[in-house]
Amino acid sequence: MSNFITTNIRLSEEDYLRLKDEAARKRTSLSAVIRDKIGSKPETRSKEEVASIMDNIDNIARKNAKYTKGLDSVKALREIRYQEK
């Protein structure tokens, strides 16, 4: 079984409708159509590989923690998202 990450992406309404239409015609999900378009093939990793990657991410997060003490990341992301352009 492959691990998937859930994320949000922005598409133009035209692209979204075109992809939704393709998914309906193929009787599959929008996600499957997008994965097919980007050439994403499920990759199987061993539990050891996953543990190693997660350890690496955890180590980087600990090193960065000293620079982000007291930072409200959700607030910062909201400010970035809604700031005037």
CB 28 within 8 A of CB 19: no
- Angle subtended by helix axes 13-26 and 30-37, to nearest 10: 100
Q: Which helix (H) or strand (E) holds 58?
A: helix 47-65
- pLDDT digit of tens for each residue in the chain (85 aa)? 467 788 899 999 999 999 999 999 999 999 999 989 988 666 788 899 999 999 999 999 889 888 888 888 888 888 888 876 6
CB 30 within 8 A of CB 19: yes
Amino acid sitting at position 21:
D
